[in-house]
Chains A and B, each alone.
Chain A
Amino acid sequence: MKHIDVKPEKCTGCRLCQLTCSAQNFRLNTHKSARIGIVPRFPEGYFEVHLCNQCGVCLPTCPVGAISVDAAGAYVIDDSMCIDCGACVDSCPQQAIFRSPASLHPYMCNLCGACVPNCTSQALTWEEDQ
């Protein structure tokens, strides 16, 4: 299996990953519904990139067992089970579980990979799992 590798030092903060993600997953033109987070840090001059790295910390925190791993290795929250308690959001060491008006429940990267080809700075790349 493969995962999306993040090199924040290459991120230019353009939000194309987020725009692509929102278009792919929610059919919306916005960067604010994305399953990836970009946080600028200035004047020091860098961008934090928050993306699920499939560490699995969230899984046992869910009180109703709504989180599972799909065939591609992505962590998925079952909307029909989720009680929107926010425990997973709080637990994520990557700060990579998001809420937005685009969904009633939190969500994280589903490894659709739409962002990767649009990241020309190669801050996001596909890598084979070790």
Chain B
Amino acid sequence: MINGYGGSILRVDLSTRLVKREPVTPELAHDWLGGRAWIAKYMYDELPAGVDPLSAANKVFVATGPLSGTLWPSSAKIVWGTKSPLTGGYIDSNMGGLIMAELKYAGLDMIILEGASETPVYLCIDDEKVEIRDASGYWGKGSVDTEYAMKRDLGEDFQIATIGPAGENLVKFACITHDVGRQAGRGGTAAVLGSKKLKAIAVRGTKPIPVADIGGLQKHTTSIIDAIRKKAFFPTFSKYGTTDVTDWCDSVGVIPVNNFQHAQYPKKDRINGKYMREQMYVRDKGCYACPLGCSTYTYSKKYDVYVEGPEYETIGLMGSNLGMDSIEEIAVLNADVDNLGMDSISSGSAVAFAMELYQRGILTREDLGGLEMTWGNVQAARAFLKLIAAREGIGATFAEGALAAARMIGKDTEKYVVQVKGLDYSAYDTHAAPAMMLAYMTSDIGAQHTRAWAIVQDITMGRSSTEGKGQVVYDLQHLRPLMEVLGVCRFPWLEVKVDWEDYVKALNLVTGQHYTTEELFAFSEKVWNLTRAFWTREVEGFGRAYDQPPAKMYVEMPDGPTKGAKVTQDMVDQLLDGYYKAYHWDQNGLPTAQRLREVGLGYVADDLIQRGRIAD
């Protein structure tokens, strides 16, 4: 028994249908903790170099952390990782809900999915009993519909993660869904599950998680929850969740509008959290052990549809970025992509890209399957999303992701895709936010905000200034991803300012270890070097050229609060120089052998040298 852990890793070979449990060793627990750190390690160590993401040789790693499923507030994270079919590099994406706890109650900390089945299957874990079962009855069903159906068939006490038709059809931004509206959204992990013909994972467990000092943990938790209740932002954030940021993003000119052509939205009062609550509120919903309950479950009368959310990123990417009229249009698009099983960010980006090509006359109505892809046309957007999920007609092109679609379409259209490393921007424009842009440029999965979110620093340090921003992003990248190592949500820290040291205390109460912040930040540095090394190994010519912002950022913002703003190559170079320096990487952004050895990754240094990726 290791405190904080279920105790085992489940290795599932879908080709041979062999299942085995491997023990979590004290060394693995202590030296690599869990969550995304385990994923980074196993991905580097076990995936054959250059593996095709949609081949049977790719693997999907599903990892909890030592705090996942514990009493500690918001211990609700489970991380899904693989070699991304969308970007060709490292991806991990996490979800909340309840399944992380259930997995640990079944004695499991991680699942490794290998090989590929020839027929649709699902993995059923009922404590010690693990079966690979026929899923032909669920294949073709929507993600959320499948969850409801499986709960009816197996029992309400099973926790279930599913893929939808998009994952089955290998759409490269297909996502995994759980607990109605919790998604591991980014990078197409569900397409890899689709390639393995794995429709779902169902799990039920009965064994409590061993905790070193449960009395101490309860006391610590109750005291932190008492503090949370008194935090200034608690009432607002627990009520509006991420939607609260909509107005602010509009006011400071970072909300994406019409595929990032503008950064202020005239209809923002019809898409914000306040309007959403007035129009559609059903219930506040919380993930496991979460005192914030930031999610809002809603019902759109106009479209007769339930959805969890929309969250801000969806409001941005599927709302203002598509020129939608109101939150109800966003809700129905959100419900569509949830059930099709597609990332609402990349889905929004794909539709926005198509709409801009239509606006510019590059693609015609005929090219677009007869759809009039004008801004705000919700019916056309819905139909287009269905074409993508089914890979029908033009949908097959966009199912590859917006960047790949641009390369197929040609006609110099790549400049209209807002992405880094093939992963579409989430909902923050960076014409006048250099630190945020650097966060997108250097996130280890592509343009995602969760590794570092630095707009506040851009505002306080200067919106055209690059000075000190490399260090800002470096520092954020050390703290935030640790949450996904420990298996907790970042919001109590980010939104209501729970002190980081209280997380460390909780980790020690759960594990009985004596971790320090200094050790954990050094650990973060190791993980960050490892994911960078994975990209270096997998992508020929990887380096500075892959850390570039989208072409749109060089185009002057025509109006709004950031009118006239644009990025220059000098700014980009300064940002990257400062950033690489902070990491002790070379001028091309590659980890040096010396640095890899210093952070405890000597074997990775040797491997990259042997492959000719870095110099000795």
Chain A residues with CB under 8 Å of chain B are: 9-10, 12-16, 19-20, 22-24, 27-33, 39-40, 42-43, 45-47, 101, 114, 117-118, 120-121
Q: How large is the interface on B (under 10, 10 to 19, 20 to 34, 35 or more residues)?
A: 35 or more
7 new A-B contacts at CB < 8 Å, known A42-B148, A42-B306: A13-B285, A14-B289, A16-B289, A23-B218, A29-B208, A46-B282, A46-B283
Q: Tell whether, in the assembled complex, residue B221 and residue A20 are in contact, meaning their CB atoms are under 8 Å apart.
A: yes
Pick the residue among B98, B238, B287, B299 that contacts A121 (CB under 8 A).
B238
Q: By the criterion CB–CB under 8 Å, are B70 and A29 in contact? A: yes
Contact of B291 among A27, A28, A120 (CB under 8 A): A120
Which of chain A's residues has its CB closest to B105's CB? A30
Identify B293's interface contact among A27, A101, A117, A120, CB under 8 A. Answer: A120
In the bound assembly, the distance between CA atoms of A29 and B208 in angstroms comes to 5
B210 contacts the other chain (CB 8 A)? yes
**Which residues of B are found within 8 Å of A19, using beta-carbon distances?**
70-71, 289
For the complex, is B203 an interface residue (Cβ under 8 Å from A)?
no
Instruction: Kindly state the separation between the CA atoms of A14 and B96 in the bound complex, as whole angstroms.
Output: 11
**What residues on A are CB-neighbors of B238 within 8 Å?**
120-121
Contacting B180 at CB < 8 Å: which of A22, A24, A42?
A42
Q: Are B284 and A15 in contact (CB under 8 A)?
A: no
In chain B, residues 284-313, which have Cβ atoms closer than 8 Å to a Cβ of chain A?
284-293, 295, 297, 299, 306
Residue ranges of B at the interface with A (Cβ–Cβ < 8 Å): 69-71, 73, 98, 101, 105, 148, 156, 180, 206-211, 214-215, 217-218, 221-222, 225-226, 228-229, 234, 238, 282-293, 295, 297, 299, 306
Minimum CB–CB distance for A95 against chain B, Å: 13
**Nearest B residue to A14, CB-CB:** B286
A39 touches B209 (CB 8 A): no
Q: Is the CB of B287 within 8 A of A14?
A: yes
Measured CB to CB, the closest approach of chain B to A28, in angstroms, equals 4
A117 near B285 with CB under 8 A, answer no
What separation, in Å, do the CA atoms of A65 and B238 have in the docked complex? 45
Is the CB–CB distance between A14 and B71 below 8 Å? no
Enumerate chain A residues within 8 angstroms of B234, measured Cβ to Cβ: 120
Of B180, B284, B288, the residue contacting A43 (CB under 8 A) is: B180
Question: How far is B226's CA from A72's CA once the two chains are assembled, in angstroms?
Answer: 25
Contact A14 B290 (CB under 8 A): yes
Minimum Cβ distance to chain B for residue A7 (Å): 12
In contact, B208 and A30 (Cβ under 8 angstroms): yes
Residues on the A chain within 8 Å of B208, using CB: 22, 28-30, 32-33
**B222→A20 contact, CB < 8 A:** yes
Instruction: Indicate if the CB atoms of B288 and A14 lie closer than 8 Å.
Output: yes
Give Cα A114 to B219, complex, Å: 10
Q: Cβ of A23: which chain B residues have Cβ within 8 Å of it?
A: 71, 214-215, 217-218
By a CB distance below 8 angstroms, the chain B residues around A12 are 283-286, 290, 293, 295
Does A20 contact B214, Cβ atoms closer than 8 Å?
no
A-B contact pairs, 11 of them (CB 8 A): A12-B286, A13-B286, A14-B291, A19-B289, A20-B71, A23-B71, A23-B218, A30-B208, A117-B226, A118-B291, A120-B228
Please report the C-alpha to C-alpha distance between residue A46 and residue B214 in the assembled complex, in whole angstroms. 30
Across chains A and B, which 5 residue pairs bring their CB atoms closest together, nearest first? Answer: A14-B286, A12-B286, A12-B293, A30-B208, A120-B291
Closest chain-B Cβ to A67's Cβ sits at a distance in Å of 27
Known interface pairs A22-B208, A24-B218; A31-B297 also in contact (CB < 8 Å)? no
Closest to B290 in A: A14
Q: Is the CB of A30 within 8 A of B209?
A: yes
A28 to B229, CA, bound (A): 25
CB distance from B422 to the nearest CB of A (A): 34
- Among B101, B234, B238: residue with most chain A CB under 10 A: B101
Compute how far the CA of A32 lies from the CA of B218 in the bound complex, rounded to whole angstroms: 16
Let me know if B101 and A121 touch, CB within 8 A.
Answer: no
Q: Return chain A residues, CB-CB under 8 Å to B297.
A: 45
A30 to B297, CA, bound (A): 25
Least CB distance from B145 to A in Å reads 10
| B235 CB to nearest chain A CB (Å) | 10
Complex Cα–Cα for A33 and B206 (A): 10
Q: A29-B211, A42-B180 are in contact. Are A15 and B105 (CB under 8 A)?
A: no
B156 partner residues in chain A, CB cutoff 8 A:
39-40
A53 CB to nearest chain B CB (Å): 22
Residues of A within 8 A of B286 (CB): 12-14, 121
Contact yes or no, A118 B221, CB < 8 A: yes
> Which single residue of chain B is at the shortest CB-CB distance from A39?
B156
Neighbouring A residues of B295 by C-beta, 8 Å: 12
